[in-house]
Amino acid sequence: MLARFPRRAAMMPDEAAPGPTPGGAACASVIVETALTAPAGGATTLAKARPWLLLAPILVFLAILGAAALVVLRMSFGTSGNEWRSFTLQNYADLLDGYFLRSLWLTLRLAFQSMLCAVVLAIPVALAMARTTSRLARRLLLAGVLLPLLVNLLLQGYGWLVILGPAGLLNHALLASGLVERPVMWLYREHGVLLGLIQTAFPLAVLPLSSAMRAVSISYEEAAATLGATRWQTLRHVLLPLAMPGLVSGALLVFAYNASAFAVPLLLGGRRVPMLAVLVHDQVAPLLNWPAASASGVVLMVATLAVMALSQRLVRRTQRLTGEPNS
């Protein structure tokens, strides 16, 4: 006979299984939030090391440049054939020769002239890039400005040979317009080299100035126009002073770039326009006089840095006198 066990009564809704208490839920949420927000040890270490990881390529690049400069400086005190064991000042004494001084003066003068021309030509282009409302127009202008940086300097130099030659495009245009009666000699002259230097360094003047102009609020120009200023007055007294950091940066970049230019002066000027980089090349390639070339390079670097520092100082003094923003 089977034994009967009492059937368990069904649980009523009010007698349901007990759920989590309010205190337990709060405790669980705190634990989960702490687990999610607590940084891991590896992530913290990576976050601390990230600035150094970003600086590492720059530091390596600067170290390589510094090492190369020290090698050139040490070699400038050597003698030909014994660059490392000897020490002499004769290489610097030889630079007092009139030919070298004329080459140094020509280099600095052409670099300064090309800097002025490039900056003047860059102002309207940078203004158009900064103030145009059309994305297509801005991109086309940017592509045109960046094009010289994307083309090899040798190719640009050969292009200038085609343009500036006696039967080149420029002489054809001048003869057709009646401005000249016979072809103008552009090649192997200073003005031909100057045209090439302006064209190759033009993007370095436009890009910093355009960025500085875009950073200036257009409300300043609107306020000047409301007060009756013309567009030239607004550009001269409002926009350019506020964009002076970009203007100075572009000018110094152009000067430093053209002071050390080699390919364009060699192709367009040859030995008749002996800029200092061409002179250094002649001391190395045919003569293999590394110490003399190193001494010439050191003098060029020091002269370029001195002119750039003097230019910055003059600009800052002018800004203090006129009350314009510092760069």
Per-domain residue ranges of the chain: 74-322
Cα-atom radius of gyration of the chain, to the nearest Å? 34
Angle at 173 between CA 168 and CA 176, to 5 degrees: 120
* Residue 218 Cα distances to 243, 244, 315, angstroms: 12, 16, 25
* Mean pLDDT taken over the chain: 82
pLDDT confidence of 322, banded at 50, 70, 90? low
Give me the CATH topology for the region 74-322. Answer: MetI-like fold (1.10.3720)
Q: Tell me how far apart the alpha carbons of residues 62 and 85 are, in angstroms, rounded to a whole number.
A: 27
Q: What are phi and psi of 20, to 5 degrees?
A: -70, 140
Measure CA of the first residue to CA of the last residue in the chain; give whole Å.
108
* Residue 172 Cα distances to 31, 64, 162, 164, 165, angstroms: 84, 48, 11, 10, 10
Question: What tens digit of pLDDT does each residue of 226-253 get?
Answer: 999 999 999 999 999 889 889 988 999 9
Question: What tens digit of pLDDT does each residue of 69-122 get?
Answer: 888 888 888 887 777 778 888 888 888 888 889 999 999 999 999 999 999 999
Number of helices (H), then strands (E), belonging to the chain: the values are: 15, 0
